[in-house]
Amino acid sequence: MNVKRKSMLTSSIVGRALKESLLKLNPAVMIRNPVMFVVEIGTAIVLLLSLFPGLVGTEGDTGFNLTVFFILLFTLLFANFAEALAEGRGKAQAASLKNTKKEIQANKLVGGAVRVVPSTELRKGDVVVVSQGESIPGDGEVIEGLASVDESAITGESAPVIKEAGGDFSSVTGGTRVVSDKITVRITSDPGESFIDRMISLVEGAKRQKTPNELALSTLLISLTIIFLIVVVTLKPIAAYLGIDLQVPVLIALLVCLIPTTIGGLLSAIGIAGMDRVTQFNVLAMSGKAVEAAGDINTMILDKTGTITYGNRMAGEFVPVGGHDVRTVGEWAAIGSLHDETPEGRSVLELAKRIGLELDASQASGAEIVEFKAETRMSGLDLLDGRKVRKGAVDTVKKWIVSLGGKVPEDLDVKSDAIAREGGTPLAVAVDGRIFGLIYLKDTVKPGMRDRFDQLREMGIKTIMCTGDNPLTAATIAREAGVDDFVAESKPEDKIALIRREQAEGKLVAMTGDGTNDAPALAQADVGLAMNSGTIAAKEAANMVDLDSDPSKIIEVVSIGKQLLMTRGALTTFSIANDIAKYFAIIPAMFILAIPEMGALNVMGLESPKTAILSALIFNAIIIPLLIPLAMKGVAYKPMSAAKLLGRNLFVYGFGGVVAPFIGIKLIDLFVGLWI
């Protein structure tokens, strides 16, 4: 199974959508869409009047009434089809996800012994052993061992990933497969609440709730519907007073033309398709609300390493200071990195090997490991003989040696600034009270970042790079990448503070993260995008998960959110602007017999009152399927300021919405006139 499946609409999806369109006629289902529900009631009344002419008022024209009935029926089916089509791809994906969810055997650890139980019996807290070739029976955390895991079942990415106990790569997902080695996993979810279960219900739209924005728009559409309902109902006595007998089917036709059926019919399809676009992008949004929030983002917080830069920060050079030589710096850097499992730490050992340093690993035996932490920004070893070896951010190492009574070498700042100015990260290497030199960590800004940040700026989004690195490196990378602002030497809690500060100014904030210490910030942000490779805590705090674990995707997610909101706005404008032409078509048609002067309003020169009404009604129906592709794909859009965008859309969809039906209704009238 592969969520990344790119195929658009298969014939089976279309076939199923056609069937669904009929099933969705069920009034109990239809009532969730009040605008279309009003159309359905109208349709039923017209059918009744066609079958029993003369039920109310004077006997009508049965042929005409039946025609109105069929056009109304198709209006309903078209709206249903739009929704069913939008749901189709998710349902197909859910079906294949369910296939990966079959019951498997799990090796559960009970009192030190392995017992084979069905995976469905596993509960939170159970511990299982998974060996090479076996599927992981449930979501969990690796508590022992290291293994490479094939996650293609959920990510679509075929290259296996390493999962190991401790740290940010310890979470595993049920249904993925261990391809080498063996791990012990503590299960973290009960049956029915796993990641795949959540994915299924998400792509299926089973728990889809209306988003705040959709609710607001629905309220507007319902209000419009009620207003037009009152207008049309009062029209009958007014007309009667003028001596005109308005037939009920004609009034219903007028009502359906005037109420916002176009947007009413497409609204839910737009929302589902927006969610689907995010999913096709291999990002799981926990709710439509999250996708919408992405569309309204004002501030985006990005970390430097791994998001803006490639993040494979590699030691490139050892730089001695204070009169020491390269060998000494390199050796101490390497000794201090013997137990540093971070990519930076491992790259120090590789560099030492590359330049031919002989390492005596026994020096580290029995040493106490000081792990790297974002809070301390240092790592190293406390050797058995009492010496303390450290490497870390220059300012923290300086503080450390000063606290031990050491002296900062005079050439340290010049040399570390030189590295930082080139965009590199200098790590100072120290033993007890002495700094021996620097490790030059190199990283590269991902190509195309500047363009993307330019686009975000045009959309009115401020980008802030938040990094644990020193101000000089941060400034260089910020300039190179083109972000608007940066915060250097930031600790994890500084991220939360930054988010709160922006939110206090009334801004919506997006951020990405993967570590347990990112979890609070991910939860605080309006849009929190967690990496699938990250910890369970991060994934649970976030409202989106990127299955590809590419933090820079937040940029595209925001674009998709914007596009969703714009599509909804554009089609609402279009739908309401359509009414003008319909007034000109139907009102003269209704009154022309009693008030011949009304003929002046027949600017389209429509054939007859009957053809005018039918043409307006047919246009009103077929505009729905015609706009389905736009609703599904989203309106094309170039980044620009919100005000400019609004102006442009008002012109295209407002003006277009006024003009299109004049042309459309006239053309349809020419055809209808041939038959009637």
Ligand X SMILES: Nc1ncnc2c1ncn2[C@@H]1O[C@H](COP(=O)(O)OP(=O)(O)OP(=O)(O)O)[C@@H](O)[C@H]1O
User: Which CB, 425 or 620, lies closer to ligand X?
Assistant: 425
Find all residues with CB under 8 Å of 510, minimum gap 6, and list them.
294, 297, 299, 300, 301, 525, 526, 527, 528, 529, 554, 557, 558
Q: Is 515 in the site for ligand X (CB under 6 A)?
A: no
Among 162-170, 260-268, 311-319, 666-674, the segment contacting K ion (CB under 5 A): 260-268
User: Which CB, 264 or 515, lies closer to ligand X?
Assistant: 515
CB of 342 to ligand X, least distance (A): 4
Interaction residues for K ion, span 603-622 (CB under 5 A): 620
Q: Which of 529, 524, 523, 527 is nearest to 504 (CA)?
A: 524
Binding-site annotation: residue ranges for Mg(2+)? 514, 518
CB of 624 to K ion, least distance (A): 9
User: Which CB, 259 or 536, lies closer to K ion?
Assistant: 259
Long-range contacts of 38-44 (CB under 8 A, 24+ apart): 38/225, 38/229, 38/255, 38/256, 38/259, 39/72, 39/75, 39/76, 39/256, 39/259, 39/261, 40/76, 42/72, 42/252, 42/255, 42/256, 43/69, 43/72, 43/73, 43/75, 43/76
Binding-site annotation: residue ranges for ATP? 340, 344, 372-379, 391
Distance CA 303, CA 518 (A): 11
Which among ligand X, Mg ion, K ion, none contacts residue 344 (Cβ within 5 to 8 A by kind)? ligand X
Q: Which of 303, 443, 526, 669 is catalytic?
A: 303
Cβ–Cβ under 8 Å, residues 586 and 616: yes
Of positions 88, 345, 609, 657, contacts ligand X by CB under 6 A: 345
DSSP one-letter code for 445? B
48 burial via Cβ count (<10 Å: 0-12, 13-18, 19+): middle
Q: Is 530 in the site for ligand X (CB under 6 A)?
A: no
Find how far residue 9's CA is from the centre of its chain.
Answer: 21
CB of 547 to ligand X, least distance (A): 21
Cβ–Cβ under 8 Å, residues 435 and 429: yes
Residue number with the smallest Cβ distance to K ion: 261
Which among Mg ion, ligand X, K ion, none contacts residue 261 (Cβ within 5 to 8 A by kind)? K ion
Cβ–Cβ under 8 Å, residues 88 and 16: yes
Which residue spans within 373-451 are E strands per DSSP? Answer: 378-382, 388-393, 425-431, 434-442
Distance CA 463, CA 257 (A): 45
Site map 461..500 versus ligand X, x via CB under 6 A: ------xxx-------------------------------
Tokens of 15: 């076939």
Of positions 75, 379, 567, 575, contacts ligand X by CB under 6 A: 379
CB of 465 to ligand X, least distance (A): 7
Binding-site annotation: residue ranges? 340, 344, 372-379, 391, 514, 518
DSSP one-letter code for 81? H
User: Which CB, 389 or 668, lies closer to ligand X?
Assistant: 389
Cβ–Cβ under 8 Å, residues 624 and 75: yes
Rama region for 200: left / alpha / beta (φ>0; ψ in -120 to 50; rest):
alpha
User: Which CB, 42 or 392, lies closer to ligand X?
Assistant: 392
User: Which CB, 53 or 311, lies closer to Mg ion?
Assistant: 311
b/e code 207-226 from CB counts within 10 Å (16+ = b): ebebbebbeebbeebbebbe
Among 108-116, 298-306, 639-647, 655-663, the segment contacting ligand X (CB under 6 A): 298-306
CB of 150 to ligand X, least distance (A): 28
Query: 303 catalytic, yes or no?
Result: yes
Which among Mg ion, ligand X, K ion, none contacts residue 573 (Cβ within 5 to 8 A by kind)? none
Cβ–Cβ under 8 Å, residues 481 and 449: yes
Residue number with the smallest Cβ distance to Mg ion: 305
CB of 576 to K ion, least distance (A): 9
Of positions 152, 280, 342, 552, contacts ligand X by CB under 6 A: 342
Q: Which of 307, 208, 204, 373 is nearest to 529 (CA)?
A: 307
Cβ–Cβ under 8 Å, residues 221 and 115: no
Tokens of 601: 């309003």
Q: Is 261 in the site for K ion (CB under 5 A)?
A: yes
Among 143-151, 172-180, 255-263, 659-667, the segment contacting K ion (CB under 5 A): 255-263
User: Which CB, 224 or 438, lies closer to ligand X?
Assistant: 438
Interaction residues for ligand X, span 299-338 (CB under 6 A): 303-305
Q: Is 391 in the site for ligand X (CB under 6 A)?
A: yes
User: Which CB, 261 or 425, lies closer to K ion?
Assistant: 261
Distance CA 118, CA 131 (A): 16
**Residue indicated by tokens 């592969």:** 2
Which among K ion, Mg ion, ligand X, none contacts residue 304 (Cβ within 5 to 8 A by kind)? ligand X
Q: Is 490 in the site for Mg ion (CB under 5 A)?
A: no
CB of 578 to K ion, least distance (A): 7
User: Which CB, 441 or 461, lies closer to ligand X?
Assistant: 441
CB of 373 to Mg ion, least distance (A): 11
Of positions 173, 184, 305, 337, contacts Mg ion by CB under 5 A: 305
CB of 149 to ligand X, least distance (A): 24
106 burial via Cβ count (<10 Å: 0-12, 13-18, 19+): buried
Site map 587..626 versus ligand X, x via CB under 6 A: ----------------------------------------
**Identity of the amino acid at 59:** E
Sheet holding 509-513, edge to edge: 283-285, 544-546, 527-531, 509-513, 299-303, 462-466, 485-487
Which among K ion, Mg ion, ligand X, none contacts residue 567 (Cβ within 5 to 8 A by kind)? none
Classify strands 509-513 and 299-303 as parallel, antiparallel or unpaired.
parallel
Strand partners, 161: 149
Cβ–Cβ under 8 Å, residues 429 and 332: yes
Q: Is 344 in the site for ligand X (CB under 6 A)?
A: yes
User: Which CB, 262 or 305, lies closer to Mg ion?
Assistant: 305
Q: Is 514 in the site for ligand X (CB under 6 A)?
A: no
Interaction residues for ligand X, span 419-448 (CB under 6 A): 425, 427
Neighbours of 416 (CB within 10 A): 28
- Name the site residues for ligand X (rule: CB under 6 A): 303-305, 340, 342, 344-345, 372, 374, 377-379, 391-393, 425, 427, 467-469
Binding site for Mg ion (CB under 5 A): 305
Catalytically active residues are 303
Residues forming contacts to K ion in the complex (CB under 5 A) are 261, 620
